[in-house]
Structure 1
Amino acid sequence: MNVTNQTMMIYFIIKGISDAPDLQALIFVLVLFMYLFILGGNMTIVLLVCLDPQLHTPMYFFLCNLSSSTVTLHKILISFLTGNNTISLYACMTQMFIFRSLVCNELLMLTAMRYDRFVAVCNPLYYATVMSPCLCASLASVCWASGFVESLPLFVLVSRFSCYKSKEINHFFCDIMPIIKLSCSDTTLFNLLIFICGLFLSIFTFLLTFIPYIFIIQTILSIRSSAGKHKAFYTCSSHLTVVILLYVTLICQYMRSTSMDTLESSKLFSLFNTAAVPMLNPLIYSLKNKDVKSALKRRWF
């Protein structure tokens, strides 16, 4: 590539979800609704867990750590309101790093919640001893630290890119793949590194999450009473629903072949992962959970 076509980057221009003028108002309303719903739902869960002693259990402790707000939607709303869709290089790198760290933390936190459900169903007599506050705090700390550590090498490598083909990012936030596609450098090895890291993390957390469910299902099937089976399955259904939803979304977003990797499909899966999944989490854990609904009635009704 000629030197004249290479651009030293100080800021980027975020194109957004869609270029269609007729859709801008509708997109703004939908994004605002999802953002407020995510903040309201997550804050409600966190407040309930903090205020209600009956929710001071390992499961809800991990759920509070899982309830983190999005770092992408607020930028879309600001761009709509101000008309300024630019973002500085450092702000873009920071957003990319935090987003990837939170995705990694979410995968690991769901794995920790799986261990909690495994002990609750398969070893209920030892649950209080095994799932001690010290262990729960240690698991949560490891999840948060691992998320940042896993994202740091990729963040450092991307931040060292010296030039880009264009200032325009055809996305609605600074995701790692659109940034790499704009780089003037040969990113073949970097793309391979991202794929290997993502594949390793996905397989590692997938195995740690779903293999214990084999033993959980065996234990549930061995329960003689139908009421006992229903109660045991009920304790795991919310977690399993969220896990399946997240893995399907991430696989569709990051593990597709190059021929399937179109800009519009990438935006669609990213929007579902950054907005729809966090919005569904409070619904899944509250509407299907008697403890949360009871705590909500005691505190506000």
Structure 2
Amino acid sequence: YINFNDSFTGFILLGFSDRPQLELVLFVVLLIFYVFTLLGNTTIIALSYLDPRLHTPMYFFLSNLSFLDMCYTTSIVPQFLFNLSGADKSISFGGCEVQFFISLALGCTECILLGVMAFDRYAAVCRPLHYTVIMHPRLCALMASASWVTGFAISLLQTVLIFLLPLCGRNKLDHFFCEIPPFLKLACVDTTMNVYATFFASIIILLTPVSLIMFSYGRIVRAVLRIKSTTGRRKAFGTCGSHFTVVSLFFGTAIYVYFQPSSSDNQDQEKFMSLFYTVIIPMTNPLIYTLRNRDVKGAMKKVTV
């Protein structure tokens, strides 16, 4: 049950309203970033579909990640751009609930999917002779589906727990989108149980994939160091470097936001870090995966010629 008065029509997303001189700059930069995010990730998906050489588990998961990044950014940026474009900073109650659920679900799914991609890289480098047997299409589809289902299930549970909190008419969210940390500050009751639930969910969705990723890359490094040829080492590290860069950026910022004690002093830092993993990382992912990737460059030349 949500306790709000008759005049309650939604939430006010304060965002960066305390810095009006920054809002115009943010609007222009975010609009550019959003367009490039859509273009870059659409290109990855199209190339992975059109070029038969990219019909491999690595690019199957990368296409999933690109589609996920587009949806994730779209669940946040258009509303943020609308709020930045004028004096109206509001979002309807239903709109906030939907944004909360979808953005959290996609964020959770990305965490799991990045862990699955680390396992794929482990199989490619450490079990090259058995790679096609291990990463067969059915297993890839199953792991991708499990990532999406688990992400949405965790988000549904968190959404129910958060939106059952009584707000007592409070509707000013000190953030640019509907997210867990600012929501807990609105509640007019003790949120200790919600904090514990969020912390436990964060351990599952953040630290478990990170542990799997670190284990996989530990084995990968050991396997690569046994390769005698410099060319072989460079190729092996090249196939994993892009993924590890994305993992470091995404998990680093997400862990910073969800695992440090929340206070008014670091609120602006939390907003900028959230901006980083909701807007900047989805835009840079296609660049990270394509700049040094010969397969993608070859596919792009083939399509454009």
Q: TM-score band (shorter)?
A: over 0.9
Identity %: 42
Range 133-142 or range 80-89, more displaced: 80-89
1:190 lines up with 2:194 in the alignment: yes
Q: Any residues of structure 2 matched to 1:45-56 within 5 Å, and which?
A: 45-56=44-55
Letter in 2 for 1:278: P
Among 143, 149, 169, the alignment partner of 1:145 is 149
Letter in 1 for 2:32: F
In 2, Cα distance between equivalents of 1:188 and 1:63: 38
Q: Any residues of structure 2 matched to 1:232-251 within 5 Å, and which?
A: 232-251=236-255
Task: Report if aligned partners of 1:93, 1:155 keep a CA contact under 8 Å in 2.
Answer: yes
**Structure 2 counterpart SS, 1:12:** strand
In 1, Cα distance between equivalents of 2:240 and 2:264: 34
**Structure 1 counterpart SS, 2:18:** coil
Q: Any residues of structure 2 matched to 1:193-212 within 5 Å, and which?
A: 193-212=197-216
Task: Report if aligned partners of 2:173, 2:183 keep a CA contact under 8 Å in 1.
Answer: yes
Give the superposition deviation at 1:20.
Answer: 2.6
Among 107, 121, 126, the alignment partner of 1:117 is 121
Give the superposition deviation at 1:39.
Answer: 0.8
Q: Any residues of structure 2 matched to 1:1-301 within 5 Å, and which?
A: 7=5, 9-67=8-66, 68=68, 69=70, 70=73, 71-81=75-85, 83-258=87-262, 262-301=266-305
Range 166-175 or range 255-264, more displaced: 255-264
In 2, Cα distance between equivalents of 1:260 and 1:86: 22
Point out where structure 1 has 5 or more consecutive residues left out of the alignment: none
In 2, Cα distance between equivalents of 1:245 and 1:26: 24
Task: Report if aligned partners of 1:14, 1:172 keep a CA contact under 8 Å in 2.
Answer: yes
In 2, Cα distance between equivalents of 1:164 and 1:96: 20
1:231-254: CA deviation from partner (whole Å, max 9, x where unpaired) = 111111111111111111111111
| TM-score normalized by the length of structure 2 | 0.92
| TM-score normalized by the length of structure 1 | 0.93
Give the superposition deviation at 1:87.
Answer: 1.1
